[in-house]
Chain A
Amino acid sequence: MPWALAVLAAAGWFESTAGAQTPQIGLAPTAQQAAQIPVVPQARFVVLLDAAHGGSDAGASLANGQTEKSFTLALSVRLRSLLAARGIQVVTTRESDAAVDPNRRAEIANHALAQACLSLHASESGSGVHLFASSLSPAQPARFAAWKTAQAAWVTRSLALTGAINAALQQAGIHVTLSRTSLPVVDSMACPAVAVEIAPDHAAASQTVHSDLDDPEYLTRVAEALAAALIEWRTEAHPL
C-alpha cells in the first residue's frame, strides 16, 4: 500500500527511526523476536528550519534581483535534503513562497519539540555568515513561559549551538561573525535557536574564491557546513 507508506513518511515515522532497521509495517514482532531485540529508547532528534520572509514580505534585496525570501527558501530546501539524507527529521516553517506569521513560525517550532532551530536569513551587507543568538538574559526554565521571552530558558543551549555552527563554518573556510539580537521569531522559540544570516564572503573573495549569494557553490558550502554542525550537535545532544 504505497499510500500508507506515504502517510507514514509524511508523519516523520521513518526519520524518527532512522539508523535502525527498516520497520515492518503492519506486522507485530513475535514474542521470540521481541525477546531478541534489546529495547533501546531511540532519542528523537528534530531540526526546525525557518526560511525567513515569504509571500508579500520579500525581505532584503540581494544581488542580481534575487530576494531574501527566495534565497532562504532555497537554502532551507538544500539543508533539509542534506539532513534527511543523514537520517535527521526536519520540520520547516514554509515550503513555498507563502507568507507565514512570525508567531506561527514559533508555534511550529515549539510544537515540533526540536533540538535545534535555525532561522535562515540573507543580506548583502557584511561579510560571510552572521550568527545571532537571542539577546534575552538566560532564565531558569518555568512551567509556563511568557510567549515573547520563551527563548530565555534556552539561551545557554542556543549559545552552545552557535558555537557548534561557528566551528563547522570556520572549518569550511567561511568568515563568521557572532552577535546577539532581538528577533521576535527566535525570542518565542522554546528550543536551542540560532538566526543564521548569509552574506557575500568578501574575505574569501579576496582569495579568488567565488562567494557571492548568487553562486551555487557558496550556497552548497554553507549548507554542508550547517548540516555538519547539526550532525555534530546531534552527537553532543544524544551521544551513542
Chain B
Amino acid sequence: MTIPRYQSILFFLLLVASVAMGVVLWQLRERAHQRLVAGQNSTPTQAPEVAPAEQATLLVANDADGSLVAQTHSLPLSKDPGSRARLILGKLFDLYAAPDAAHAVSGGANSVAQVFLMPAMTQTAAAPPQPDSPLPGTAVKTAQQSAEADPNSPQLAIVNLTGAFAASHPSGLETETLTILSICATLHANLPRVTEVRFLVDGQQRATLAGHADLTRTYLTADAVPTEGAQP
C-alpha cells in the first residue's frame, strides 16, 4: 500500500509550516526578552565607592553604674554628615544588641531610620527681633541662612528611631535616660557642631521612649557629655 502523492505533499507542507512557526515564536520571545532587559537598565553610571574606615568615638552606656564610657571603633563612614551620623548610631545600637551588652537594648543598627541635620534655632529664636526687620520671621530666616553658610554654626540633629526599637526598649528611668544621653554624647563627639538633639519615632513625635524619658523636648549635647571620671 502506497501513500498518495497529494498526502505526502500535504504532510511536507505542514511540517515546513510547523518549523517556520516555531522559528517565528522563538524570535518573538527573544525580542520580548530584549525589550524587558532594556527597560531595566542596569548599566553602572557611577563607579562603586568604598568608604575608607575612620575612627569613631562611641559613648557607650553602662547600666551597672549609670556611666557613659568612651570607646573608639574603626568604621567605614560616609562623607554626608546625616548618613555618617546614622552609621555611627547604628554601630552604637549594634553594641547594645550584643548578648553581653552592659546596656542591653534589642534592635541593632536598623533602629535608626534617619538622622537629619539642620541649623540649631536656639540662638536665633531667642534673639530679639531687629528694629528694622519688616516682619518678625525675617530676622530668624536671615539668621538661619547665615547659619547654613557658616561651617562652624551649631546644628540640631533630628534622630528618627523606628517604632520597633521604641516598643522593644526596656522600660525604666535609668535605662531610657542612658540611651538618650549616649545618643546625644556620641553625636556630639563625632559631629561637634551638633549641639541639640530631638527625637522622632517613625517620623512622629512621641511622649516618652518607653514610659519614662521625655522625647518631646530638645536635648542639649553639652548636658550629655560626661566629665572626666563623672557620671552624666
Contact = CB atoms under 8 A, between A and B. Distances in A.
Binding between chains A and B: yes
B219 A125 contact: no
A183 interface: yes
Given A121-B212, A126-B66, A132 B173 contact: yes
The SS class assigned to the A binding surface is mixed
Nearest to A125: B175
Contacts of A220: none
Contacts of A202: 64
B171 A181 contact: no
A199 to B, nearest CB: 7
A57 B63 contact: no
Given A57-B211, A132-B177, A183-B212, A126 B171 contact: no
A123 interface: yes
Nearest to B172: A123
Given A132-B177, A178-B231, A182-B213, A59 B171 contact: yes
A183 B212 CA distance: 7
Interface string B191-222: 00000000000000001100111101101000
Q: For chain B, what secondary structure do more than half of its interface residues adopt (helix, strand, loop), or is it mixed?
A: loop
B177 A181 contact: yes
A35 B120 CA distance: 66
Given A130-B66, A180-B223, A197 B172 contact: yes
B217 A182 contact: yes
A182 to B, nearest CB: 4
Interface residues of A, number: 29
A121 B211 CA distance: 11
A226 to B, nearest CB: 16
A187 B207 CA distance: 14
A197 B214 contact: no
B224 to A, nearest CB: 9
Contacts of B30: none
Contacts of A177: 65-66, 174, 231
Contact of B214 (A125, A184, A199): A184
B232 A125 contact: no
A124 interface: yes
Given A125-B172, A195-B173, A135 B223 contact: yes
Given A177-B65, A181-B213, 10 more contacts: A123-B171, A123-B175, A125-B175, A179-B177, A182-B214, A184-B208, A187-B214, A197-B173, A197-B174, A202-B64
28 contacts: A57-B211, A60-B172, A60-B211, A123-B170, A123-B171, A123-B172, A125-B63, A125-B174, A126-B64, A127-B63, A127-B64, A130-B173, A132-B177, A177-B174, A179-B66, A179-B174, A179-B231, A179-B232, A181-B212, A181-B213, A182-B214, A182-B217, A183-B212, A183-B214, A184-B207, A184-B208, A195-B173, A199-B172
**5 shortest interchain CB distances as A-B pairs:** A123-B172, A60-B171, A177-B66, A182-B214, A125-B175
